[in-house]
Amino acid sequence: MKIALAQLNYIVSHFDYNKGLIIDAINKAKANKADLIVFSEMSVCGYMPHDLLEQHDFIVRCQNYITEIAQHCNGIAAIVGAPTINKSAKGKKLFNSACFISNGKIQEIRNKTLLPTYDIFDEYRYFEPNDKFEILEYNGTRIALTICEDLWDKQPIAYVQAKGQLYKNSPMEQLIKQKPDIIINIAASPFSYNQGKVRRQVLRENAIKYNLPLIYVNQVGGNTELIFDGDSKAINSKGEVVCQLPVFESDIQIIDTAKLNSTTPIPAVDEDNYIPRIHKALITGIKDYFTKMGFKTATLGLSGGIDSAVVVALAAEALGAENVRVLLMPSKYSSDHSVNDAVELAQNLGIKYDTVPIQPIVDSFELSLTKVFEGMEPDVTEENIQARVRGTLMMAMSNKYRNILFNTSNKSEAAVGYSTMYGDMNGAFSVLGDVYKTDVFKLARYINRNGEIIPENSIIKPPSAELRPNQKDSDSLPDYDLLDAILFQYIEQKMSESEIIEMGYNEAVVRKTLRLVNINEYKRFQTPPILRVSSKAFGFGRRMPLVAKY
């Protein structure tokens, strides 16, 4: 049987657009003599619609559009992901389903069994888990049709940070009893920089365990903070990847199931060098956020530091230099080389820049507060006034020129609260909020891989907020190599304070770092959407109480 893998970029709730993508792919697959075309999880409505699933009209539209798509399935069958109605009086009102369509109508429906509720996932909020296991038969081929997590019942220990089996049930253990010929898995599996390696491992292990070929179809593109890398593939019964669709690109490829075991395997890519993958993910996330929201132009404050330099370089690559405008806002503490570095970067990228010195504005603020602050020594208050003046100016630029303001804070700063509310925390979209400072430097080097774009001085100089004389980040924080290592153990690995100390880290540094993380949750609660590139990003996937005794 010839099966088409359709790896496409959907827009949540944009039914006409998604329908057009799906029908166009069906027609292409039909023209290339495919017997079956497979689309990803929730492809009709996009993943994840969240509480739109609670709206009756939304579900009705899903059903209507599936019916329209079915009319194009003559001479070819399709598997399309969609929410469907649970007709039972018990349980949640919906299923997360795979609709099998042929001869112009939905012939059968298979529902998702394992509904993830960890990290960014909250599917049990909306869906009833499947409890009926049936093979799908088409053209003499018996198909074990599964949906994403249904093949992840035994996840790698390092991935889930839990011992033993994550789920009590295994859908494939039930389906294998019915002697299928092939496994098809439709997914909406978001990107993280280590996800590809884990995903490949899980899929290969399933193919080997059940001695069956496996077809895996994922979506691509950015949906707010979630980025989907695709990475769809076909694996033969020996666990060898024999068809691999490109990451972060829409694509349709056709495989012949009769030839899977005789096809030359595709070697695994280098999974250790994760910076190129993060770079491509961030470009995809920026581009799709703007495209899908109907935005055109962006702005940010360019300081001459590494964070704003990396963000503006990514923005120019994703949106085009002509669509990016930056503001330089030097104060009396800004070094000449920082200003020069910012100007050089703007010129290297070919973007428009303006300069508005902030010192007169800061002086007017301080003058207005003279009587209120009488007898008090200058402290972080005056430093934050500078950041908030810059934040106000950036919002003015955003309003006047209708540019979307990028936030430039990195994950290290966000973790320990090294940022100013209503100042450098301003922005509609956070590009680096899930990238540690040590990786920001690596990204800068990668951006410069074919020649200097970001000035070398911005990369090698000691990081500084430049809000007081001779200020350096290391005055307030541990060196970033040490800080990021501790943060990684606490945030991604979910290690406790005592466990991190037992690993050999300095006790005082660990206690200080974790205290900063915990007491700054209220700041992170107010941050803009953060592009997720790790297994544990701030935001929807990490829900911590604001008021708690840590």
pLDDT in tens, 226-261: 999 999 999 999 999 999 999 999 999 999 999 998
Residue 175: its H or E element: helix 171-175
CA distance to 6, 41, 283, 506, per residue, from 187 (Å): 12, 5, 22, 42
Question: What's the gap between Cα 328 and its chain centre?
Answer: 29
Question: In residues, how long is the chain?
Answer: 550
Told to judge if 148 belongs to the known catalytic residues of this protein, a careful annotator would answer yes
Q: How far, in Å, CA of 139 to CA of 142, rounded?
A: 8
In the structure encoding, which two tokens stand for residue 371, read together? 């009587």
Q: How far, in Å, CA of 229 to CA of 196, rounded?
A: 9
Task: Tell me the pLDDT tens digit for each residue of 99-135.
Answer: 999 999 999 999 999 999 989 999 999 999 999 999 9
CA distance to 47, 73, 171, per residue, from 69 (Å): 18, 7, 28
Q: Tally Cβ neighbours within 10 Å of residue 118.
A: 12
Phi/psi at 85 (5° precision) = -85, 135
pLDDT at 157 over 50: no
Q: How far, in Å, CA of 407 to CA of 143, rounded?
A: 47
Q: What is the DSSP string of 193-226?
A: TTHHHHHHHHHHHHHHHHT--EEEE--EEEETTE
Q: How far, in Å, CA of 46 to CA of 286, rounded?
A: 18
pLDDT at 160 over 70: no
Closest CA relative to residue 30, chosen from 75, 69, 71, 67: 75
- What does the pLDDT average to over 152-166? 57
In the structure encoding, which two tokens stand for residue 172, read together? 């494939």
Q: What pTM was estimated for this model as a whole?
A: 0.94
CATH class for the region spanning 2-258: alpha beta
Residue carrying structure tokens 């800080």: 483
Closest CA relative to residue 469, chosen from 367, 336, 332: 332
* 266 close to 243: Cβ distance less than 8 angstroms: yes
pLDDT at 474 over 80: no
Residue carrying structure tokens 């003499």: 140
Pick from 38-42, 406-410, 459-463, 468-472: least confident:
468-472
Task: Tell me the pLDDT tens digit for each residue of 287-339.
Answer: 999 999 999 999 999 999 999 999 999 999 999 999 999 999 998 887 777 89
Half-sphere exposure of 401 (CA within 13 A, CB side): 22
- Identify the pLDDT of residue 159: 47
- Identify the pLDDT of residue 162: 44
Question: What's the gap between Cα 541 and its chain centre?
Answer: 11
Its sign, for the CA torsion 80, 82, 85, 88, is positive
Q: Pick the catalytic residue from 19, 30, 41, 128.
A: 41
- What does the pLDDT average to over 535-541? 92
- Identify the pLDDT of residue 57: 96
Q: How far, in Å, CA of 244 to CA of 216, rounded?
A: 10
Prior bond of 329 cis (ω within 30°): no
Report the CATH number of the 277-472 domain: 3.40.50.620
Q: Pick the catalytic residue from 148, 383, 466, 536.
A: 148
Q: Pick the catalytic residue from 30, 112, 292, 411.
A: 112
* 386 close to 506: Cβ distance less than 8 angstroms: no
Told to judge if 240 belongs to the known catalytic residues of this protein, a careful annotator would answer no
Told to judge if 149 belongs to the known catalytic residues of this protein, a careful annotator would answer no
Closest CA relative to residue 407, chosen from 500, 526, 295, 522: 526
> Over the chain, what is the mean pLDDT?
93
- What does the pLDDT average to over 81-86? 97
Q: Tally Cβ neighbours within 10 Å of residue 394.
A: 25
